[in-house]
Amino acid sequence: MANTINKHPAGSRSKLPGLVKSLMGAAAFASMALTAPASLAEVNTTDLAVTEDTVKVGILHSVTGTMAISETGSVQAEKLAIEQINAMGGVLGRKIEYVQEDGASDWPTFAEKSRKLLLNDKVAAVFGCWTSASRKAVLPVFEQYNGMLYYPTFYEGLEQSPNVIYTGQEATQQILAGIDWVVKEKKAKTFYLLGSDYIWPRTSNKIARKHIEKLGLKVVGEDYYPLGHTQFNSIINKFKLKKPDVIFASVVGGSNVAFYKQLKAAGIDMTKEKPLVLTISVTEDEILGIGGENIDGAYASMKYFQSLTNDNNQAFVKAFKERWGDDIVIGDVTQAAYLGPWLWKAAVEAAGSFDVDKVRAASPGIELTTAPEGYVKVHPNHHLWSKTRIGNAKTDGQYEIVYETPELIEPDPFPAGYQ
């Protein structure tokens, strides 16, 4: 893929390298320059909901039910991205209109709504889903009706669908760098793995365990609690007995709040060197519920923190706050959700068409230089190349970034040797 699409919030479209303009790229460029949309027949051969001046996309998240807590940020990010794209003139000269559906934290509802979006609304792309279960539920629908899903959450991997672009990290990208860092910088020797009881923590811990054992270090315990569990005193006692150097936590949802509050109350001070808490599940969003003073000192390993200082991120945070209020915080998944519409726009313009097959063909190699997290690029396996950062939680609910991998990490959803 030779096409390089740069996007700039200011709206300047002049940086397409002249040499690499493919025919399609040229068409897209021309259409932008003249603000005369390419003809309908050209950009939409598969009967999608595209008119002379609009294109329909879907947003599919839970705004009710237990998952609404987590998914709200993603909806806000996707709407913001769509509004910004529209303010720049839209995609192939067409304004984006979104149809928002509520998955209601219920997987059959997700499947039903995705079918509605693809069959009735004929949307060109869907931005949505959060939990693995919801993605697994809609996946057969997207594959059957050939839709395109942009999925924002960091997840367990073990999947690579032609109909999904995974804008969050898969497990190895997120975990390996984190463990390497605590081993190298904090001289950690023993680990305790703790998670909520479902596939993502279990798979993540499996990868973590393999990696820890490969390094010749020791896992001293592994435990799972049901989703929504709120009593963690027993596990805290186990920490005190086993004295691990690192507590590797992938607890999610309401359990998170209970876990960190009780950890702090039990006298485990995370600002001290040992035991050190390394989490892969607590973004700034979750800290809002946990309370910064309760998680002060914990480390998190993920690709994005709100406190990133690059220009892209500062512009993004400013725009986000202007749109959704000053006291809002932005977590890893919110940022990944924000990438969805932009990656789709870039792919559509590279393809010169809204047709899902062409967008898919154009997707590998799509780059965003203006992503808040920095530069990202779509891998042929539909995941993103990205850096992983280690953040240290502070009382104000933000992470201080203490480490960043020097290179982009290649996504590897089926990691050999970790299964």
Q: Which of residues 48-67 bind another protein (CB under 8 A)?
A: 63-66
The strand pair at 399-404 and 389-393 is best described as: antiparallel
User: Per CB under 8 A, does 191 bind another protein?
Assistant: no
Tokens, residue 15: 């940086």
Q: How far is the CB of 30 from another protein (least distance, A)?
A: 38
User: Per CB under 8 A, does 258 bind another protein?
Assistant: yes
User: Per CB under 8 A, does 106 bind another protein?
Assistant: yes
Q: How far is the CB of 328 from another protein (least distance, A)?
A: 10
Q: Tell me which of 214, 241, 271, 400 binds another protein, using CB under 8 A.
A: 241
Q: How far is the CB of 214 from another protein (least distance, A)?
A: 16
Q: What is the 8-class DSSP label of residue 408?
A: P
User: Per CB under 8 A, does 101 bind another protein?
Assistant: yes
What is the crossing angle of helices 332-351 and 23-34, to 10°?
Answer: 100
**Distance in angstroms between the alpha carbons of the first and the last residue of the chain:** 31
In terms of phi and psi (left: phi > 0; alpha: psi -120 to 50; beta: otherwise), the region of 90 is left
CA separation for the pair 237, 235 (Å, rounded)? 5
DSSP string, 276-291: EEEESS--HHHHHHH-
User: Per CB under 8 A, does 314 bind another protein?
Assistant: no
Q: How far is the CB of 108 from another protein (least distance, A)?
A: 6
User: Per CB under 8 A, does 226 bind another protein?
Assistant: yes
Cβ–Cβ < 8 Å for 170, 419: no
Tokens, residue 326: 């000053």
Which of positions 281-310 make contact with another protein (CB under 8 A)? 285-294
Residues 6+ apart with CB under 8 A from 263: 232, 236, 270, 277, 294
Type of residue found at 221? G
Which of positions 114-143 make contact with another protein (CB under 8 A)? 115-116, 119-120, 131-133, 136-137, 139-141
Nearer CB in complex with another protein: 181/192: 192
State phi, psi for 266 to the nearest 5 degrees. Answer: -80, 5
Nearer CB in complex with another protein: 1/133: 133
User: Per CB under 8 A, does 262 bind another protein?
Assistant: yes
Nearer CB in complex with another protein: 12/271: 271
Nearer CB in complex with another protein: 29/324: 324
User: Per CB under 8 A, does 345 bind another protein?
Assistant: no
Nearer CB in complex with another protein: 178/415: 415
